[in-house]
Chain A
């Protein structure tokens, strides 16, 4: 009798425990689940609903508008310009972030200098990354001002004859903006690639030399091959982030002059908070979301393939 009841008790206790164990992870995750529902799922549903209605936010009872806003956007020439600008800005940024990041990382990984010298250079090279986009925007507006230091240096060196309106001419603004973004973003690549370089065992290079590889070959078959997973995932993350870049564009050119630097983000922002056309802005926001999600799927797929 006694043994029976104690066994029953035990099994009762263990089912209770296993139920508790099943529930525990959800208890730990509940604050996150609640926050993500309120901050992510609900807003995304909202913005999708907004994009199919007329006059949301401004009108208390908006009516259903179908895909009108999407059609309007897809027909809008400014939107096409924004897509082109965003792609140019993003692709050039990612390419040069990678090129500069890898070059600087390899320089900093050299064996011919003392560690103290290298860490001094490393701090200088990381500097652009400690500044927030607003500060970077203001600093470069100062430097690229027609009367600023860049034009002074270029005219003094006789590279250009006239002062150039870097950020307010349709000819130069997009390139200047892309240059600024390249300057501000390469440290992120550099630090990751440097960590990756330090993880490549010296024996691999020795083995390559013994096999008769020259410098270019050992760069191609050892350095690049070993860093490839980092390079691919950094490039994808950078692509996703750069497509979304808003503050730098907004604070340097505001998308101008005459849409010369209009990006998907500034285009959407202006629709919402300059024209108060929240419905059309929502449609644009949904398009940006779909583009980003496609990139994210690629990223996750790539990460999985690497596992």
Chain B
């Protein structure tokens, strides 16, 4: 009789052990990053390695906050990512409304195009972008980044927002039309306010894509004043020495916006991540 609870306990113990092993696999590198960001640089490769450094210090963080050139990377990243998010949401919501609420000839081919566009490799677009951006005299400007980022943020935003609008009954916006309003009013006054959860998911995902972008930022900007965080971290790999502790500190500061968004808005994140793979 006692074999059943015993078996359950064994199962539970095994699951907990498996979960802990998985947590070490997933979490140890992150923990190591945090540990190293509080070490002085010469101690990074000390033998044997120390976990809690005797010389625990915030020097690496201070060095970043005191250096206006490094702070500038963060300002650039926030500026570009926020503007990309706002513009993508605006254009994406308009397009999603058109696709969700109207039947028209080009609907199918347009849908196909939007899905397929996501598979176009950034490296293929990079060469023509480079020559276009240089020809338009936009090389090394915010505009070059904001404009080109929309090529990969917009299709995803349209797909997500179309899916969201499709879940809302058409009667909602038709009531506005019956009362003499136009479709534009029904979109912004009726649909947008009740679509906030969908817009937040889409916005978070868009922000993240822009925040993490590397290839276009590397190629379409040149001076340190225009660099974003992903490129800025790389610039700390100097010619003479690697400032490992600062790189780790900057990495942690660089992932904070995404981490905070994730911790507080998990369900929106998960909605965004699963939207691509699960069809309702």
Interface residues of A (CB under 8 A from B): 21-22, 24-29, 31-32, 35-36, 39-40, 42-44, 46-47, 50, 56-57, 103-104, 107-108, 110, 112-113, 121, 123-128, 130-135, 138-140, 142-143, 145, 147-149, 152, 156, 183, 188, 191-192, 195-196, 229-230, 233-234, 237, 240, 243-244, 246-247, 250-251, 264-265, 268-269, 272-273, 278, 281-282, 285-286, 288-289, 292-293, 295-296, 299-300, 303, 306-307
Q: Is the CB of A142 within 8 A of B127?
A: no
Residues of A within 8 A of B122 (CB): 244, 246
Chain A residue numbers with a CB within 8 Å of B80 are none
Q: How far is the CB of B91 from chain A (nearest CB, A)?
A: 5
Say yes or no: A127-B119 contact (C-beta < 8 A), given A22-B104, A50-B128, A135-B255: no
Q: A32-B94, A183-B26, A229-B279 are in contact. List 13 more A-B contacts (CB 8 A).
A: A25-B101, A29-B95, A29-B99, A43-B128, A46-B132, A47-B125, A113-B12, A130-B255, A132-B230, A142-B32, A192-B274, A272-B126, A299-B119
Q: Tell whether B215 is near chain A: CB-to-CB under 8 Å.
A: yes
Name the A residues within 8 Å of B251 (CB-CB).
Answer: 131, 134-135, 138-139
A142 touches B44 (CB 8 A): yes
* B131 touches which of A57, A130, A229 (Cβ 8 Å): A57
* 5 A-B pairs with C-beta separation under 8 A: A28-B98, A39-B150, A42-B128, A273-B219, A286-B124
Rounded to whole angstroms, the CA-CA distance of A36 and B158 in the bound complex is: 12
User: Beyond A31-B91, A113-B16, is A272–B120 a contact (Cβ under 8 Å)?
Assistant: no
Kindly state whether residue B265 has any CB partner on chain A within 8 Å. no
On whether the beta carbons of B128 and A46 are closer than 8 Å, the reply is yes
Contacts of A307 in B (CB 8 A): 279
Task: Look across to chain A and name the residue whose beta carbon is closest to the beta carbon of B187.
Answer: A28
Instruction: Report the separation of the CA atoms of residues A190 and B259 in the bound assembly, to the nearest whole angstrom.
Output: 17
Task: Determine whether the beta carbon of A107 is less than 8 Å from that of B98.
Answer: no
Determine if B30 and A24 form an interchain contact, defined as CB atoms under 8 angstroms apart: no
A235-B142 Cα distance, complex, nearest whole Å: 35
Q: Which residues of A contact B278 (CB under 8 A)?
A: 192, 195-196, 230
B104, closest chain A residue (CB): A25
Contact check, A191 vs B273: say whether CB atoms are below 8 A apart.
yes
* Nearest opposing residue in chain A for B262, CB measure: A130
CB distance from A198 to the nearest CB of B (A): 11
Distance (whole angstroms) from the CB of A47 to the closest CB of chain B: 5
Do A132 and B212 form a contact, CB below 8 Å, given A195-B278, A296-B119?
A: yes
Contact with A along B227-267 (1 / 0, CB 8 A): 00111011001000000100110010011001100110000
Q: Quick one: given A152-B47, A300-B116, are A43 and B215 in contact (CB under 8 Å)? A: no
Once bound together, how far apart are the Cα atoms of A32 and B156, in whole Å? 12
Residues of A within 8 A of B274 (CB): 191-192, 195
Residues of A within 8 A of B219 (CB): 273
Q: Nearest 6 pairs between A and B by C-beta?
A: A28-B98, A296-B119, A43-B128, A25-B102, A132-B212, A247-B214
Of the residues A113, A192, A289, contact of B124 by C-beta under 8 Å: A289
B102 touches A24 (CB 8 A): yes
**Chain A residues near B212 (CB, 8 Å)?**
132-133
Q: Mark B92-113, 1 if CB is under 8 A from A, else 0.
A: 1011011101101011001011
B214 contact set on A, CB distance < 8 A: 132-134, 246-247, 250-251
A240-B131 Cα distance, complex, nearest whole Å: 26
Query: Which single member of A27, A107, A230 contacts B22 (CB below 8 Å)?
Result: A107
- The answer to whether B120 and A289 touch across the interface, beta carbons within 8 angstroms, is yes
Measured CB to CB, the closest approach of chain A to B260, in angstroms, equals: 10
Residue B6 at the chain A interface, CB threshold 8 Å: no
Interchain CA distance A142-B102 in the complex, whole Å: 53
Does B181 interact with chain A (Cβ within 8 Å)? no
CA distance A230 to B277 in the complex (A): 6
- Point out the residues of chain A lying under 8 angstroms from B116, CB to CB: 293, 296, 300
Given A125-B22, A125-B23, A152-B49, A40 contacting B104 (CB threshold 8 A): no
